[in-house]
Amino acid sequence: MSIRDQLKKREEERSTPKGNGINEGLPEGVTRYVRLGSELKDGRQFVVLADPDNWFFYFCHEDGDYATRATFFKKHTCLHSPKKVGANLDSFKKPSGGACISCKAKAKRKLYFMVPVFDLEYQTWRVLDIKEFHAMNLIGDYDKLEKAAKKFNKEYALVGDVITITKTSDGKSYSLESGDAEVPEAAAQFLGFDIPYEELANFREVDDIIELLNEADPDHIDKSVLGESAKSPTPAPTDSQPIDISDEELPF
């Protein structure tokens, strides 16, 4: 393979999540990630597959200016993140320069959650990948709903039941309500299913991250931690590079 082809392949691999087969079993164009903006616009019913205490959380480095739609560096998963469910948030909440070069470079870091659900339409598991702010809203609704139902049945749990998740009318977050569909039989097999969160979170190789940081806006990260590689000629800072901040990328 020529060096050109090899470089092209590397670039492709970099921009494709590692779990290449992760969308298998879903119709063309549908991903394991629920497209929050478009798919939840009018509400969508799911079976909840895990209690909030068992939602996978991880961190992303991202920074940009919502008003001008500028991105200061490409969003990427923080290497100082759990790879499995059940981690202790306290152990990860502070950036760690020893574990993650982006933390060392003081790149902005945000907490994300993956909510595992069974999709009634596609009859398989999917995840809602949401920022902390949205997760807090969903957990608030979740607890309210479960508490109300427990008045009638102490044993009731929302896990395994149908809920509806809808984009709120102001478009800024999501709400969780009880769903009216019957729980499909196929959902049960996914309760306790070992969802490949690590693949879904797409942890990058360190050299890819260094490359991203080299291309970052120097006003928003500390490039001195990149050492020699930072001094090599790099393209102009990408501070005004236009990106498409869809409604799935609200700055919360």
Which residues contribute to the site for Zn ion (CB under 5 A)? 78, 80, 100, 102-103
Q: Which is nearer to Zn ion, 70 or 221 (CB)?
A: 221
Rounded CA gap, 167 and 171, in Å?
6
Nearest-approach distance from CB 83 to Zn ion, in angstroms: 14
In the complex, least distance from residue 110 CB atom to Zn ion, rounded to whole angstroms: 11
Q: How far is the CB of 118 from Zn ion (least distance, A)?
A: 32
Instruction: Count the helix, strand and coil residues of the chain and give each as a percent rounded to the nearest 5.
Output: 35, 20, 45
Within 10 Å of residue 136's Cβ, how many Cβ atoms?
15
Give me the least distance between CB of 61 and Zn ion, in Å please.
Answer: 6
Cα dist from 58 to 76, 123, 137, whole Å = 11, 26, 18
Burial class (CB in 10 A: 0-12, 13-18, 19+), 224: exposed
Residue 227 CB contacts under 8 Å (≥ 6 apart), including other chains: none
Handedness of CA 143, 145, 151, 152 (dihedral sign): negative
Residue 74 or 80: the one with the smaller Cβ distance to Zn ion is 80
Q: Which is nearer to Zn ion, 103 or 128 (CB)?
A: 103
Q: Minimum Å distance from CB 94 to Zn ion?
A: 10
Nearer to Zn ion, 30 or 225 (CB): 225
Tokens found for residue 173: 């977050």
Q: Is 75 left (phi over 0), alpha (psi -120 to 50) or beta?
A: beta
78/200 with CB nearer Zn ion: 78
Q: Residue 64: which of 113, 93, 15, 107 has the closest Cα?
A: 107
Nearest approach in angstroms of CB 193 to Zn ion is: 28
Q: Is the Cβ of residue 98 or residue 233 nearer to Zn ion in the bound state? A: 98
